[in-house]
Amino acid sequence: MIRGLYSAASGMFSLERKQEALAENLANAQTPGYKKDDTVLRSFPKLLLSRIRDFEQSKTGFAAGVSQNPAQPAPIGVLVNGVYAQERIPNFQQGAIVQTDLPLDVAIEDSGIPLQEVNGRQVKPSAFFAVQLPDGTVGYTRNGKWDVDANGNIITADGYRVLGSNGMPIQLRGEFSKEKLTIDEKGQITMTSDDPTNRRVVGQIGIAIAQNPLELRRLGGNVYQTAAPLPLVQNITDYPGLTLQQGYLEQSNVDPGQTITDMMVALRGYEANQKVIGVYDQSLQQLYSVGKING
């Protein structure tokens, strides 16, 4: 009976963790470039139960009676001790790309990058913008909604400076107008002008490709990090299927309708485990009443 309580409680804890992940996904359904987390639920190791028969009846005849030799264990079945939320796995599926016509909105289109073999299995690589975090380390994000700060640095919505292909922050020097910036599909940033002779290249967007995106660690929000910095792409043309689109944003890959449905299913499972615990509690109360010694 106590094992049943533990199993139901573990189900409630696991579904609570899953509900938290689903709620976070839903809260970021409108965050550009956000990648949802899928919660993996696994069962605890199974236990094989057996019954030890002290003696077994002799097979030599009825007159022999019962033998005094210990018998072999008799299998009863398998016992499962509940489930647990093992981990959250980011889903790096490409989100929908929508047009905004803003000069500092940039979307990564990498759905055409071919699969790579990693540790004997096929894995879909993912491309990311490289940004400089407050502690000076490098982070990676798919959020291409940018702006320019007072010092001319191109920054993300969270205030992180966008890095160029040389690993340094992209800084626009001198007089510039955001409306005059053009970013081609290779990530080259050019300052245009009414005078063709004044066109100048001001930077090259730094793109990092994670061959196995599941090795990335989410720092919070929409930024990831790796144990070792990823190399920055120097020539996007070397990677077929990878392009950048100015004036577009990649939307979150969260499906609000499916997420709400999953939340309802998790809630129903939580309530079912709650009722199981209630039944066990009533049974224990009755057992206590029967076994209580009146003084």
Whole-number percent of the chain with pLDDT over 90: 46
**Secondary structure class of 105 (helix, strand, coil):** strand
pLDDT tens sequence across 177-193: 888 899 999 999 998 87
Task: Give me the mean pLDDT over the 71-93 stretch.
Answer: 77
Model confidence pLDDT, tens digit, residues 139-151: 999 999 999 998 8
**SS3 call for 175:** coil
Average pLDDT over residues 73-95: 79
Confidence of residue 100 (pLDDT cuts 50, 70, 90): very high
Instruction: Spell out a b/e string for 119-129, using b for 16 or more CB atoms within 10 Å of the CB, else e.
Output: eeeebbbbbbb
Q: What are the tens digits of pLDDT across the range 20-77?
A: 999 999 999 999 999 999 998 877 766 666 666 655 554 554 444 444 455 567 777 7
Mean pLDDT of 261-268: 95
Query: How many C-beta atoms surround the C-beta of residue 35 within 10 A?
Result: 25
